[in-house]
Structure 1
Amino acid sequence: MAEELIVGGAGEVVKRAISLAIDELGLVIGVKGELKKLQAVLTHIHAVLQDAEEKQVKEKEVKVWLQELKQLSYDAEDVLDEIAYNELKYSTQWLNYPLRLVARFKMAHELKAINLELDGIDKRKSAFQLKTTNNVAEPVQTFNDRETYSFVDESSVIGRDIEKKEITQLLINDDDNIALPVIAIVGIGGLGKTTIAQLVYNNGAVKNHFQLKIWISVSKDFNVKRLLREMLEATSKIAKHESSSMDLIQRCLEEKLKGRRFLLVLDDMWIEDGFYEKWEALRIVLKCADRGSTIIVTTRNGEVANMVAATSHIQNLQVLPEDDCWDLFQRRAFVSGGVQMTQALEAIGRQIVKKCGGVPLAIKSLGGMMRLKREENEWLAVKNNEIWNIPDADKKIINVLKMSFDNLPSSVKRCFSYCSIFPKGHSINKKMLIQMWMAEGFVSTLQGNMEDIGNQYFNMLRLNCFFQDIESNELGEIKRGKMHDLVHDLVQFVSGQESSVVSANMIPDDISQTRYMGYISSGRRVAFPKALYKANKLHTFFSFSPYEVPKDMFVKLKRLRVLDLSSTSIKKLPSTLCKLKHLGYLDLSMTDIEELPESITCLYHLQTLKLKKCENLKVLPRKLCKLINLRYLNIHGCTKLSRMPKGIGNLTSLQMLCRFKVGLEEDGNSITELQHLNLLRGKLSILQLQNVRNAAYAKTANLKEKSNLSSLTLSWGTLGHSYIGNAGVAFQVLDELQPHQSLHELLIEGFVGVRFPRWMSNGSLLPNLKSMMISNCSNCEHIPSFGELACLERLEIMNMSNVKSIGGWKDEQMDTTTTPQSSSYSCLKVLELGRMPNLEEWSVGNEVCSEELSIKNCPNLRMTPHSFPSLKSLKLEDVGGMGVVSITSSLTSLTSLSITRPLLPSLRHLHINGWPALQALPHHLQHLTMLKSLMIQDFTNLTELPEWIGNLASLEQLKIMWCATLTHLPSKEQMQRLTFLKRLWIFDCPCLEWVTRLYHLQTLKLIECQELVELPEDLMNLKKLRHLFIDDGEKWKKMPQAMGKLDELQTLPVENCPKLQAFKDEGLMVSNSSSLRELQITKCNALKSIPDFSNLLPSLRKLVINGWPALQALPHHLQHLTTLKSLSIKDFRNLTELPEWIGNLASLKSLQIWRCKNLTHLPSKEQMQRLTFLKRLRIQDCPRLKERCRRHGPEWPKISHIPRLLIPRD
């Protein structure tokens, strides 16, 4: 791509300078005159900026002019910020009024110098013949998150099903003969390589197959040490691994990987000098893993693929099919609130999509752009753009992205350009990014709440595909996103020299114009490079690695707006911190700081202060209330911080205060400080509520008015520690802490009251509550039903030592009026009960619509809701038996079951479904001695049933279904112990080779057991067998001779046995089969004839036969089945007529004829009328016969007397 342009930036800087001059400082005495001049000249220049930014592409002088203007506007912005700072500083210090005047005149002098330079720039513009445009503020189109999020969710990726399935099969059906196979996904940028890798990586079968999964973003920095360190961090579940020794990292990683089957994804790998040697060095370390471990590599370079996957598999990714491309485009372009699809726009759109060459990234980006273009000429301009003539695919994609960028509002362009401070592959925290934008002044307060505007900017970038790989929290709120590497190339291009990512050992020579900087070091704390002081105009310094903070840093880099000191070695902030007059964002998270200097309270522009996990921090500055612009104060994890500073309630701009530790009223930091903090949003934890001694103070906290809070924690004592106090006061306090109706999550911890207030279970007071957790409430004996909370999705009740009941009739005594009938829990998905030793009764209505249920350490639980129609996952540990019986009585949807230490003497029925990774049944199931019914379903890795099955002495029914690898049942000795076993079903167990003798069976079903060759020869010992079903026996060749001795056999369907050749002399041709009532012989195509068993089956009532293509007539011996009541004839293709002897079947009530294509004639009218009991005749898919059997047809007189005729019309 050509050298960078001054895109969007100059105009935005000029606009902000104008805004500051007009709105904030225009009335400041001493600088008023210079401010007016600044406003006038910038407004004059701003009128031609749009034309200048277009002409800079071809006219170098215009580009230079724009660059000078931009830098001077930055200087003006700095001066105006400092003026605002001084006004804030002296506004509360009336005794220093003379100092204020001095500061004003100093600033006026600096403004005068800037105005002189601007005059020169203004005069030079006439030489460029720039056109004046009407620079109306560009609106930022807003879209509702929930409406648009679905079509950018990676789980709804369009196409790529074949590639995903192929790679998934390669992973699961691994070849153990190849040590550490590599699957390479190859294709041009933007084709979806990373997306396919993500889909496979998150596939359920893949998750179950591998014991460990690791995702590493490689990019162009193939540094073996870095990659190994990141792998170690992923396996150790820690944020950073401090070791700098390659040997130590290697040994630690080998220890983590040894003997474990892992999947490693190396995303976005590039070729570079010494690549093969580095690759081999990496492979050597990874060979310690278990057989079956696999590496997936994504790359644009075919040479890389050939090197890493020469002996494994290379997946060459093709462009997306045309139909999928259009589907992807229209889901982006034609959305709610955007352009409406017309016939003309669809035709143009399809041509635009075709020009994208099947590349999803380009299609998504263009779709996001086109949704705001409503005129046909705008669509034609995109279709006819010259970028489509670029032959190079990668360059074409980047230019498509550039076209989307050009169509963004200038304010959003500046926010996007700022993102070049992040390295490739970095996962960007959305909330943090918006805070940084705000600190830099990119988000105007004129359009509304800054956080909401910043969120709209982020969404616009996301919808234009500049952010992808979106991560969301449990409430559906977006947390993080990444830039595709081609998008990162674009952001580096548009930001130019003013923004960059530098490393400790690679600092550019000229950084004097750099305003925004991301910093990377080797991974351990290194000295801050003094060379960075050359960037004396720096606005943002954001570090991705720990570093040593120099003492003079704050003096040298005085223009900083954003400063990241997180994870640095700093223990004490110098007093020179106050020099950072422009600072709006300060991150001190995870440092060893014990206290903050009072000088920090002079940072009047500070909006964000992060102190997360500063575990040694003991106190906040006494005058913190001076930071009147503070919007975010994060003290999460500051465990030693005992109280809040007095006057924190004056920080009325606060949007986030994650924790508030309540002090005593006499100390001046009571809960009343929360009264006016009504802008708080997100999560708030109020701790140490035992210090609230008067409920009136709790009421003053005014939680009902805090409508932006999504999560609220109310804790007595400190989190995790119980507190003994006045139960009555605690109840009154909690009653007064009723939150706003918009709350989504509520946590109550350590409450010492005996009962809960009504508002906690009132659906009209908490209509939006989705999650509730109650724990460590030691005095409570009863918990009301929360079934009125219509949106409740998650309920956790833990460590309630005195609770005896949940819900039920006692609700009225507990200050609630909920009845079981209203307690539907209609939205509940997750329910967890734990550590309630006295819980006996749980009565919350007839049905609980939960998908996940976990009950632990409730040994006395006797009664539970008896219907869980939606339950998919059940975990039980130390639970009373009667309670479990009612829980497991109707688990029709259960897919996961975990029972630990089961004391279940009364359990009768157990259905275990869907544990693909399990190779053996849990041994503790052998203690279920009262079990009557056991179903084992969908265990893909189960090879045999354990011998202890014989311990299930009461078992009456055993069903084994979809166990693809099952080869053996338990031994003969163990199976014979099951003296009550009456019913055995084996369905779709294709590897099962034999069935053990079971002498008490009454029903035996063998369906899709394709390796089963025959039944045991001593089948005659199954004297009580009544029903034998054989279906889809692929290898069955003969029926055992002993079948005729099954004196009580009543039903025998034999279906889908293609190799079964004969019955004669081998199955039914024995002396006594008088009990058989029903016989089916279907789809046994190897049979050459129907055996003559008419004299041996005097009691046969139902006969179903089909599947003999060669048979031209029904065997005459069937006419002797005089007791037959139902006859079904199916799939006899060469049968042309039914024989006359059909009339001999005197008992026949039902005759069905299916799919006999050439059948034309029924028996004669006389023979048909002999069937005096025939009540039902069905003719299905017999086209010739059906035509003849129509009313007035030649066969109609033969059948018109039959009461029920089923002959479907066409």
Structure 2
Amino acid sequence: MAESFLFDIANSLLGKLASYVYDEASQAFGVYKDLQRIKDTLSIVKGLLLDAEYKKDKQHGVSEWLRQIQNICLDAEDVLDGFEFQHKRKQVVEASGSTRVKVRHFFSSSNPLAFRFSMAHQIKKIRDRLDKVAADGTKFRLAKIDDAPELLRRELTHSYVDASSVIGRENDREEIIKRLMQPHPQSDCGDGGKSLCVIPIVGMGGLGKTSLAKLVFNDRRMNQLFQMKIWVCVSEDFDIKQILIQIINSALVSTVPSASALTNVLSHQENITNLNIEQLQSRLRNKLHGQKFLLVLDDVWNDDRAKWIELEDLIKSGSAESKIIVTTRSSSVGSMMGTVRLYVLEGLSIENCLSLFVRWALKEGDEIKYPNLVEIGKEIVKKCQGVPLAVKTLGSSLFSKLDLDKWILVRDSEIWNLKHRKDDILSALKLSYDQMPSYLRQCFSYFSLYPKDFTFNSFEIIILWVALGLVQFQTGGEKVENVAREYIDELNSRSFLQDFEDYGFYCKFKVHDLVHELALYVAKEDFAVIGTQTQSIFDHARHLSIVDDNSCGRVLFPKSRSVRTILFPMEGVGLADETLLYSLVSRYKYLRYLDLSDSSFEFLPNSIAKLEHLRVLDLSGNCKIKYLPHSIWKLQNLQVLALGGCTELETLPKRLGKMISLRQLIITSKQSDLSENEFASLNHLRILGFHYCQNLKYLFKYNQLQSLETLFVISCGILELPLYMFPNLQTLYISDCNNLHLSAYSRKSVQTLKMKYLHLEGFPELSTLPDWIASAKDTLETLIIVNCPNLKKFPKWLINMSHLKRLYISECRLLSRIVLPGHMFYLTALENLHIDGCPDLYRQYQPQCGVHWYEIAHIKSVYIGEPRGEEE
């Protein structure tokens, strides 16, 4: 793992050492002094980590020293988690009201005296290792520093561009110029003044935002439209004084009418760098006063709104018709600064990429001489997925190299294995990565465990992050899953994600191939993706991903016993070898995340109960397993148990209620009823799902699940759903439950619901939405209705949904209207409207020409899909 994570790993370990649980347990088990010594030594080492990070590429041995520290910290975390497990066992025993005999029986597999001896031995070993490595660090002469070393910086940009060298951006240029020519609505900026028009151009590094801004800046029409043009490269440091100096100097140059006059001005120009901020702001305001200017702020990273408002106030002295273009990799920065909608820059077409590649890889005319190279070039540019800087990087690496083998090597190599040059695509992406906070960098590296073009579901990746302790707990009691979702939104804002679909309580997305290669690069030796082409993996790998069935039988698993993650990310790829399963469970006792989805073994070993650190056990999609071992209830750390799609599973394990850490439980079972008392003990259960429970009729009759926030019910034939049993329910997802009568509930019976998300799918008899949904008018944010072929209209109360942001309607072919004509405007919060497979709605709301299009044209995101199949 990249050493930049180590500071956070050390911090996390120190936090655990300082907690009450560890303090109490360490004294009880006689290891208090050893733990204090580890804490003291680690505190000293932590202060040297930033200096070591800075020197690791310059001083031999520092990288290995950092790796040793990291391994010790992670091993110490494994050992110390044993305290937490013992603490939870104690809670279970006390809650059970057992006699002393039962308590002894409970601990028969882990006698307290044996635990004490083992813990003392392991902690002493950790202490000695840390002392030795800390002593070794003295030879590197590391210093304690509080600030991170200076990051790789992008070169400052200038405004000139040869328009003929920019390919495929003509339409983008015209769209930005169109926005510049439109009058600004003079929106209120919140302080009684009026804001300037700010047009944000947003996209990932290397996509060509700066080139597009240059095309616009140098267009002849801009000279006629504006009296003054100003170009400022902001880059990482949003220094107000330096920005003012750049604006003043750029404004001076842009007003000069000729080259000779320019020389004269520059020769007499005073050195304004010596002026203080007061003098600069006065000079700036005089310079801009009354001028209609175009200001480009290129490469903005600042997300501090106060700094932006300060700068904006200083440049308001210009004409109100002035315009500002901002280029940024962050949509949140663009939204903060922008006064019009973001212009999200897309990638180039394959044809444009090939034209650009040929220009950088071959001399003029060589494309005719070497058609075989051009054919290889077509395959190379596919790797770039529309990113022009990647095309230039690969093209320039091949310039003047006409050897076919070298072109094939580039085609078949990962881009991060190619030679690294300043200001190429590798630098651009690495800069974006380096600018992330460290907690995001850690989470980002786990994308490396998944194949390219993988469609991520936020549920799955959040479970992984939480299980591995990557999500920082916030003050104020915000749930850890909500914090993780904020991480995803931040990664999306920083242009690391693509094809992002937000459904409210969850989202789907992909990562660009180049971003995936960046994840592989930063993950390094701690992560291993095992496939048919894998020859070997590092012995100290802690996170394993198996991407094809043929890999399972190969002896490629690391000798180290510190593996934390085993993942089968590909649909249909699982584990069928029970011998290998037994081996993995017995060898890797520190597993946190065990994904055995789509596997086909019949028995789960009893030894699964020895995985005391396990947070996630995913058995979904196993169509052979019939029983779970009774010992599974001993997994007191387990947070997620996924049994969805285990269609042969006879019953749930007994003593389920003793799994006190469960937060998510997905069930497929043949049983007809549930043990209500067991569920009543699951005080932390937030997500509950029932998939293909064909015999299950009742969920609960008496006990409310106060903690439950999300309920999935999918393909459950005769199930009755007592919604009043879930007073804090926020998400309800019901699909393909033909015998479930939604209209059976009254508003009164469900008036306590606080739903934010409702998904109803596969109700052939439904003609209108049930009235009880109206009880969520003050909370519902997402409403999804799918495959209700007899649904004819929505109730009048829909317009009262004051918080509704997303409305998705699909395959409701008889639906004639959403609301009465002219009433869509009542849905003031609506941001996303998606209609598909609805012929009447398509005719009414068809973009530009539908009779009611004007009612929805203001909505931020609208998709009206053309009906498919039968003729209208």
Q: TM-score range by the shorter chain?
A: 0.5 to 0.7
Distance 2:553 2:294 in 1: 51
1:457 maps to what in 2?
487
1:127 maps to what in 2?
139
CA RMSD of aligned residues (A): 5.5
Pair 1:88–1:893, CA change in 2 (3 A):
closer
Give 1:534's match in structure 2, choosing from 551, 559, 570: 559
Deviation of residue 689 (structure 1)?
A: 8.3
1:785 maps to what in 2?
796
For the pair 1:342 / 2:311, whether they are aligned, the reply is yes
1:614 counterpart SS class:
coil
1:92 counterpart SS class:
helix
2:706 maps to what in 1?
676
Give 2:846's match in structure 1, choosing from 855, 872, 875: 872
Deviation of residue 645 (structure 1)?
A: 4.2
1:469 counterpart SS class:
strand
For the pair 1:658 / 2:689, whether they are aligned, the reply is yes
Within a 5 Å distance, the mapping from 1:483-498 to structure 2 comes to 483-485=512-514, 487-498=515-526
Deviation of residue 556 (structure 1)?
A: 1.6
For the pair 1:633 / 2:665, whether they are aligned, the reply is yes
2:61 counterpart SS class:
helix
Pair 1:824–1:799, CA change in 2 (3 A):
closer
Q: Once the two structures are superposed, what CA deviation does each residue of 1:437-473 show, in whole Å capped at 9, x if it has no partner? A: 11111123355421122223333333333x2223214
Pair 1:409–1:735, CA change in 2 (3 A):
same
* Residue type of the alignment partner of 2:22: L
Distance 2:532 2:723 in 1: 52
Give 1:398's match in structure 2, choosing from 412, 415, 426: 426
Within a 5 Å distance, the mapping from 1:937-948 to structure 2 comes to none
The answer on whether the counterparts of 2:669 and 2:692 sit within 8 Å (CA) in structure 1 is no
* Residue type of the alignment partner of 2:520: Q
For the pair 1:427 / 2:455, whether they are aligned, the reply is yes
Deviation of residue 329 (structure 1)?
A: 3.9
* Residue type of the alignment partner of 2:528: S
Deviation of residue 820 (structure 1)?
A: 8.4
* Residue type of the alignment partner of 2:501: S
Within a 5 Å distance, the mapping from 1:1022-1171 to structure 2 comes to none
* Residue type of the alignment partner of 2:731: S
Deviation of residue 412 (structure 1)?
A: 2.4
Pair 1:71–1:103, CA change in 2 (3 A):
same
Pair 1:786–1:21, CA change in 2 (3 A):
same
For the pair 1:601 / 2:633, whether they are aligned, the reply is yes
Within a 5 Å distance, the mapping from 1:111-260 to structure 2 comes to 111-134=123-146, 160=168, 162=170, 190-191=206-207
1:26 counterpart SS class:
helix
For the pair 1:9 / 2:5, whether they are aligned, the reply is yes
Distance 1:324 1:525 in 2: 60
Distance 1:892 1:397 in 2: 46
1:583 maps to what in 2?
614
For the pair 1:26 / 2:23, whether they are aligned, the reply is yes
Deviation of residue 750 (structure 1)?
A: 8.1
Deviation of residue 103 (structure 1)?
A: 0.9
For the pair 1:740 / 2:747, whether they are aligned, the reply is no
Pair 1:438–1:458, CA change in 2 (3 A):
same
2:23 counterpart SS class:
coil
Pair 1:662–1:129, CA change in 2 (3 A):
same
Distance 1:399 1:577 in 2: 45
Deviation of residue 683 (structure 1)?
A: 5.2
Distance 2:39 2:434 in 1: 27
For the pair 1:719 / 2:731, whether they are aligned, the reply is no
* Residue type of the alignment partner of 1:520: V
Deviation of residue 128 (structure 1)?
A: 2.8
Point out which structure has higher relative CO (alpha carbons under 8 A, 6+ apart): 2
Distance 1:367 1:393 in 2: 27
1:531 counterpart SS class:
coil
Q: Which has the higher strand share?
A: 1
Pair 1:397–1:324, CA change in 2 (3 A):
farther
The answer on whether the counterparts of 1:610 and 1:633 sit within 8 Å (CA) in structure 2 is yes
Within a 5 Å distance, the mapping from 1:614-633 to structure 2 comes to 614-633=646-665
Deviation of residue 41 (structure 1)?
A: 1.9
Distance 1:615 1:325 in 2: 63
Distance 2:127 2:86 in 1: 21
Within a 5 Å distance, the mapping from 1:984-995 to structure 2 comes to none
Distance 1:108 1:462 in 2: 45
The answer on whether the counterparts of 1:430 and 1:481 sit within 8 Å (CA) in structure 2 is no
Deviation of residue 555 (structure 1)?
A: 0.5
Give 2:642's match in structure 1, choosing from 567, 592, 610: 610
Rg larger in structure: 1
2:626 counterpart SS class:
coil
The answer on whether the counterparts of 2:638 and 2:662 sit within 8 Å (CA) in structure 1 is yes
Seq. identity, %: 20
1:66 maps to what in 2?
66
The answer on whether the counterparts of 1:789 and 1:825 sit within 8 Å (CA) in structure 2 is no
Pair 1:422–1:748, CA change in 2 (3 A):
closer
Pair 1:613–1:751, CA change in 2 (3 A):
same
Distance 1:82 1:52 in 2: 31
Q: Which has the higher helix share?
A: 2
The answer on whether the counterparts of 1:595 and 1:617 sit within 8 Å (CA) in structure 2 is yes
For the pair 1:557 / 2:588, whether they are aligned, the reply is yes
The answer on whether the counterparts of 1:581 and 1:604 sit within 8 Å (CA) in structure 2 is yes
Distance 1:162 1:682 in 2: 49
For the pair 1:105 / 2:134, whether they are aligned, the reply is no
2:88 maps to what in 1?
88
The answer on whether the counterparts of 1:783 and 1:806 sit within 8 Å (CA) in structure 2 is yes
Deviation of residue 77 (structure 1)?
A: 0.9
Distance 1:677 1:686 in 2: 24
The answer on whether the counterparts of 2:466 and 2:480 sit within 8 Å (CA) in structure 1 is yes
Pair 1:872–1:491, CA change in 2 (3 A):
closer
2:546 counterpart SS class:
strand
TM-score by length of 1: 0.44
The answer on whether the counterparts of 2:205 and 2:432 sit within 8 Å (CA) in structure 1 is no
The answer on whether the counterparts of 1:659 and 1:685 sit within 8 Å (CA) in structure 2 is yes
Long gaps (5+) in structure 2: 94-99, 149-165, 174-203, 213-292, 316-325, 338-392, 398-418, 855-863
Q: Once the two structures are superposed, what CA deviation does each residue of 1:675-706 show, in whole Å capped at 9, x if it has no partner? A: 3224x2475679688758xxxx864x143x33
Pair 1:755–1:161, CA change in 2 (3 A):
closer
Deviation of residue 110 (structure 1)?
A: 0.7
Deviation of residue 756 (structure 1)?
A: 9.1
Deviation of residue 436 (structure 1)?
A: 0.9
Long gaps (5+) in structure 1: 137-157, 166-187, 197-322, 347-359, 374-387, 808-818, 831-848, 857-866, 874-887, 895-912, 926-1210
2:44 counterpart SS class:
helix
Within a 5 Å distance, the mapping from 1:836-985 to structure 2 comes to 854=838, 870-872=844-846, 891=851
Distance 2:9 2:61 in 1: 20
* Residue type of the alignment partner of 1:436: L
Deviation of residue 529 (structure 1)?
A: 2.2
2:442 maps to what in 1?
414
Pair 1:473–1:11, CA change in 2 (3 A):
closer
Aligned residues: 616
Pair 1:736–1:756, CA change in 2 (3 A):
farther
Q: Once the two structures are superposed, what CA deviation does each residue of 1:822-858 show, in whole Å capped at 9, x if it has no partner? A: 977854999xxxxxxxxxxxxxxxxxx99779489xx
Distance 1:328 1:458 in 2: 25
Pair 1:407–1:162, CA change in 2 (3 A):
closer
TM-score by length of 2: 0.59
* Residue type of the alignment partner of 2:491: L
Pair 1:690–1:547, CA change in 2 (3 A):
closer
